[in-house]
A and B are shown apart, each in its own frame.
Chain A
Amino acid sequence: MIAVSGLRFRYTGSEQPALDGIDLSIGAGELVGVVGANGAGKSTLCYALTGYIPHFYAGALEGDVLVAGHEVRRTPVSELAAEAGLVFHNPFNQISGARYTVLEEVAFGLENLGLVPDAMRQQAQAALLATGLEDLAGRSPFTLSGGEQQRLAVAAVIAMQPRVLVLDEPTSQLDPAGTRAIFEVLRSLARTRRTTIVITEHKLGWLASFVDRLVVLHAGRLAADGEPRRVLSEAASQPWGVGATDYTRAAQEARRGGLLPTAGDLLPVTLEQALETLR
């Protein structure tokens, strides 16, 4: 569903490339997390997957990005949008401002795509249901709280039923309840609709619990790609700036005490794993 090969990108006016040779292949229905230090290229990758690069952000682009069968470089964003949606982390700026109710806001993209009203209504309502916004359908988007607005942004994009969904730190402004709501929607989409999902995050614990695969970006390159526990275990002792959950750190420190079986075993990343390791 997503095939990236040799992707290099340097923003105009920047000396360093933001992405320096990325090869990545993601299949339908995969839920992939992307982690890395700030400046490692996470947002740039999100833009490259959805066409914002090169169409909106100028720079030197090399390599091929194929998303849902479209060559991103050659497809205008408004066309690609039906197949690859992007949600970013400022909920307020994602409200179109063109509609007076939440339901219409969610249907806005579908109107632009020229869908029949019945299909639109059905898809929009499904999106509201998936994001838990059905009770707010008649409210003005501007009266929603930050967490609700972020769910609205997700709903508005998933209503278009894209095959690929890219989210750039979508939960940064949300509290744990809001974060859980977003992650659960994503998991449900990946499982039931086979939507391919790429999400960048700093919240390692949540990622480890929800994603199938984790990718680490470091200085514009792919430093690791694989099963979340394995990748985060490795990241704990690498200078990638990814950080670690306290479960990982606790086990790391415990290892130093000498009473915990040593390297070769994976470090725990979640509570369950930590309890298993440390009991």
Chain B
Amino acid sequence: MAEPVRRPSAIEALHPLTKLALMLAAVAAGAALPNLPAVLGVYLLVLVPLAAAGGCLAPFLRTSLRVLTPFLISLLLIQGFFTTGPTVLVRLGPFRYTLEGLLVGLLFSARLLVGMGAATLLMLITRPDALMRGLVERGLPNQIAYIVITALQIVPTFQARARAILDAQRSRGLETEGRLTVRLRAFAPLVGPLILSSLMQIEERAIALEARAFNRPGRRTSLVALHDTRAQALLRWALLAAALALIAVRLLVWRAA
């Protein structure tokens, strides 16, 4: 997962729910707007400047484009060959690659790009725990927020753990280097310790949480206050309204791809 950039910027200082609203609106726009230039416009004229303002333009471009690439290729191929249309660009036996198909593929890819770009940007400019805290303040159950955050922090440690287990088993003669069958056979003695020790870890962690009064009924407070302004609150409502409007218009008026 991309690490939030540590340099403070105006974008990062926004309330996490504002950032979430921005991204959701961008995704809605990307899904609803009717043509390629409009959708690309969301990416280039909204997301990219926001990323630049947030000081994370390079990682944003890198990640969103990198994630898109496999989808781009398959979408262009599938849509190009399987969308019927008059303008044939390439003929491959019985298969026809059409211009219309290419355009459809590009449009789908652009929508996907906006979606992934919005998610990437959100992760880059928002600390996950701040986002969760924002949601908890609005009524998200504390337990769910906890699960999301710990998943983000603890799952990466599984990698280190898996490596340690792998080392331990190799040291007992388990061959892991070599032919594929050898490597596959090595799987079982690795999975067992990982799952078992993870379960034990979870149990001990649950106990440790109790010792920190996690399940105590009553009001919870927060060490770090999230800074919010009326302007941002209004902006969020506006964005939400705009997103809903775009979706409504899309469903009712623009019925093209």
Contact = CB atoms under 8 A, between A and B. Distances in A.
A30 to B, nearest CB: 21
Interface in A119-145: 120-121, 124, 140, 142
Interface in B200-227: 201, 204-205, 207-225
Interface in B122-153: 127-129, 146, 149-150, 153
Contacts of A82: 213
Nearest to B129: A100
A108 B150 contact: no
B157 interface: yes
Contacts of A90: 204
A186 interface: no
Interface string B180-214: 00000000000000000000010011011111111
B213 A78 contact: yes
Contacts of A140: 153
Interface residues of B, number: 32
A94 B209 CA distance: 8
Contacts of A219: none
Contacts of A153: 208
Given A50-B211, A98-B149, A110 B223 contact: yes
Nearest to B201: A93
B245 to A, nearest CB: 36
Interface string A150-161: 000100110010
Nearest to A140: B153
Nearest to B218: A114
Interface of A: 50, 52, 56, 76-79, 81-82, 85-86, 88, 90, 92-100, 103-104, 107-117, 120-121, 124, 140, 142, 153, 156-157, 160
Closest 7 CB pairs of A and B: A109-B212, A97-B150, A93-B204, A78-B216, A112-B213, A94-B208, A107-B223
